[in-house]
């Protein structure tokens, strides 16, 4: 025979509307707050999904617009590739070279990222933005997927963190209330030490 009740039975016994006279008011409040937090966390799942979907849609459209404005041209390297300056000691700046290209009959020059083995006179692909200046390669549509999933997971993580902090704060407050009540009850029934 089992000496301890099952988990579902213990949860059922903690319901706030229980008629058990041994259930303290702080236990009832704790049960109500825990129930509300569970309901809010369950409701946050579709909210996070909706936010992630909206982010994905907006990012995918932005990537589509940005990529449509970029044009690929062939440029000629004017010098060998050199190491690009890095903004951080933990990030490799890659390699860069000065290049020259012709677009719509106009010649232009600029410094772009290249492969490390690029030599002077080599043909280098360059992506130009709508202003005719070098821009990065077109972004992959997969970036929108990762952005949407990341934002959705971040919303879930933040709501879970807030829930844990609320539970922790509730435990501190209600634990303090219980301790004060136990202390006052103990003083009523116990004699002072030494008498």
pLDDT digits (tens, 9 = 90+) for 103-131: 888 888 888 888 888 888 888 888 888 88
Stronger pLDDT, 4 or 55, i.e. the higher one? 55
Tell me what pLDDT residue 177 has: 87
Full 3-state SS string of 140-161: CCHHHHHHHHHHHHHHHHHHHH
- Indicate left, alpha or beta for 79 from its phi (over 0: left) and psi (-120 to 50: alpha): beta
Q: Are 100 and 76 in contact (CB under 8 A)?
A: yes
83 φ/ψ angles, rounded to the nearest 5 degrees: -70, 130
What pLDDT is attached to residue 194? 66
pTM of the model: 0.67
**Of residues 131, 125, 138, the one with CA closest to residue 64:** 138
């Amino acid at each position: 025979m089992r000496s301890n009740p099952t988990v579902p039975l213990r949860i059922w016994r903690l319901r706030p509307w229980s008629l058990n006279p041994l259930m303290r008011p702080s236990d009832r409040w704790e049960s109500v707050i825990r129930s509300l937090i569970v309901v809010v966390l369950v409701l946050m799942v579709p909210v996070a999904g909706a936010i992630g979907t909206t982010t994905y849609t907006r990012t995918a459209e932005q990537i589509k617009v940005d990529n449509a404005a970029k044009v690929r041209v062939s440029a000629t390297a004017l010098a060998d590739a050199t190491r690009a300056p890095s903004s951080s000691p933990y990030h490799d700046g890659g390699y860069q070279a000065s290049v020259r290209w012709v677009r719509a009959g106009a010649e232009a020059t600029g410094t772009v990222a290249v492969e490390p083995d690029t030599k002077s006179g080599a043909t280098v692909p360059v992506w130009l933005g709508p202003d005719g200046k070098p821009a990065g390669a077109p972004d992959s549509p997969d970036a929108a997927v990762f952005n949407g999933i990341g934002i959705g997971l971040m919303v879930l993580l933040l709501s879970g963190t807030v829930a844990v902090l609320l539970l922790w704060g509730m435990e501190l407050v209600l634990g303090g209330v219980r301790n004060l009540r136990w202390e006052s009850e103990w003083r009523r029934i116990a004699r002072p030490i030494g008498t």
